[in-house]
Amino acid sequence: MNSELFNLFELCRDKLKNVLVYQAIETIDDPYEKTTSKTMLNPIPVKAIVRTISPDALRWKYTGQLSSGSKEIICEKKYLNLFKMADKIKIDDNYYKCYQDDERGFNITDKTDYLIIIVQLKVGNINV
């Protein structure tokens, strides 16, 4: 069931963006050296509202832990596990990752009808 918020934005399709969510399979190449390699799976498109977080909000809300250029994704609740397992997230031409705090918790806020996900630019922003 779609939430009323996303039904409202379906009327204004220019507000929704396609966000590509990539998952990866990690395999152990050498069990003695513990070297691993990741294989990217096909991306899953998610329609979402994407906003850039202002530097003021970054400084006051997240105490400078996030780099500038971080984004806020607002999407339906059914994508919660998809974003938790995401290895990288593509918005426009840049790749992002879900922000994790020092306890390895994801910064995903679960509201009654939607999710708010904070993503930061991925280090080594390479197009694959």
The pTM of this model reads: 0.75
User: In which domain, by residue range, is 94 found?
Assistant: 4-121
Query: Is the residue at 104 inside a domain?
Result: yes
Query: Is the residue at 11 inside a domain?
Result: yes
Q: What average pLDDT does the structure give for the chain? A: 77
Query: Is the residue at 126 inside a domain?
Result: no
In 3D, which of 22, 25, 26 has the Cα closest to residue 35? 26
The region that residue 66 occupies, defined by phi over 0 for left and psi between -120 and 50 for alpha, beta otherwise, is beta
How many domains does the chain contain in total? 1
| CATH label of the domain that carries residue 25 | 2.40.10
Q: What band does 65 get if pLDDT is binned at 50, 70 and 90?
A: low
- Mean predicted confidence (pLDDT) in 35-48: 91
What's the pLDDT tens digit per position in 50-64?
988 876 665 555 554
pLDDT at 128 over 50: no
